Amino acid sequence: MIKKLILFLALFPFVLTAQDATTATDTIVKNDFSASKYHFKLKQVIIPSTLIAYGVIGLNNDDIKRLNADVRDEVLRNEHKERTIDDVTRFVPMLSVYALNLVGVEGEHNFKDRTIILTTSLLITFTTVRSLKAMTDVQRPDITAYNSFPSGHTATAFAGAEFLLQEYKDKSIWYGISGYVVATGTGLMRIYNNRHWLTDVAAGAGIGILSTKIAYWVYPFLKNRIFKDKKGEKQITAMVMPFYNGEQFGGGMVVRF
Residue 223 forms part of a structural domain: yes
Neighbours of 163 (CB within 10 A): 29
- Residue 249: pLDDT above 80? no
How far apart, in whole angstroms, are the C-alpha atoms of residue 67 and residue 52? 17
- Looking at the chain, the number of H-run helices and the number of E-run strands are 9, 2
Residue 15 forms part of a structural domain: no
Residue 19 forms part of a structural domain: no
- Residue 257: pLDDT above 50? no
Residue 1 forms part of a structural domain: no
Residue 58 forms part of a structural domain: yes
Which pLDDT score, from 0 to 100, does residue 13 have?
Answer: 66
- What's the average model confidence in pLDDT over 60-76? 94
Task: Give me the number of domains the chain comprises.
Answer: 1
Confidence class for position 29, pLDDT limits 50, 70, 90:
very low
The amino acid at residue 226 is I
Q: Residues 50, 52, 53, 58: is their CA dihedral positive or negative?
A: positive
240 against 169, higher pLDDT: 169
How far apart, in whole angstroms, are the C-alpha atoms of residue 96 and residue 98? 5
Q: What is the overall mean pLDDT for the chain? A: 84
- What's the average model confidence in pLDDT over 12-29? 54
7 against 168, higher pLDDT: 168
Of the candidate ranges 47-61, 159-173, 223-237, the one whose mean pLDDT is the lowest? 223-237
Of the candidate ranges 20-29, 41-50, 69-78, 241-250, the one whose mean pLDDT is the lowest? 20-29
Residue 252 forms part of a structural domain: yes
Confidence class for position 82, pLDDT limits 50, 70, 90:
confident
- Residue 3: pLDDT above 60? no
How far apart, in whole angstroms, are the C-alpha atoms of residue 208 and residue 91? 12
Residue 5 forms part of a structural domain: no
List b or e across 14-43, with b for residues whose CB sees 16 or more CB atoms inside 10 angstroms: eebbeebeeeeeeebeeeeeebebbeeeee
Which pLDDT score, from 0 to 100, does residue 81 have?
Answer: 79
Residue range(s) defining the domain that contains residue 192: 35-256
Residue 178 forms part of a structural domain: yes
